[in-house]
Amino acid sequence: MKKFLIPAIALAAASVAVPAMAQNYGPQHRGDRYERPYERDDRGGRYDNDRGGRNWQDISQRKYQLDRRIDVGERNRQLSRREATRLRAELNALVRLERSYLRGGLSWRERAELDRRYDRLSMQVRAERRDRDNRRY
């Protein structure tokens, strides 16, 4: 009887477990934060050194995305009004600089400088949103 019962239990357990393992829940159900799409990223989801300019985002795209991140941070009270004002002023100064560069044509050095400054501002927005303004809770 034991020779028949143990394999039958193993077969029943396998028949229940195999379909459950084949189920694809997707990244949103795993809680895997690294599987999120990067459409909200101000670099358009790219992390390369694109010297050809194929993936360069213009003023309006990067400004809109960073401005939206500042707005959301202020609305969620992750940013104080003073922090949001300072970050917007830096963003507007960067937009003015980019427009002045674009008047004479954008060289690769100017593009690299702007990309570096946009990245730095993006990191500042992220840091300010996460610093909790010295609050404990």
61-65 LR contacts (CB < 8 Å, sep 24+): 62/118, 63/91, 63/95, 65/40, 65/41
Q: What is the pTM of this model?
A: 0.57
Q: What is the pLDDT of residue 84?
A: 92
- List the chain domain ranges: 55-131
Using 50, 70 and 90 to split pLDDT, how confident is the model at 6? confident
Question: What is the average pLDDT across 12-29?
Answer: 62
Q: Which residue, among 45, 44, 76, 78, has the nearest Cα to 60 in the 3D structure?
A: 44
Mind listing the pLDDT tens digit for each residue in 61-118? 888 899 999 999 999 989 999 999 999 999 999 989 988 988 888 888 988 898 899 9
Which residues in 1-117 belong to E strands, given as ranges?
none
* Predicted pLDDT of residue 12: 77
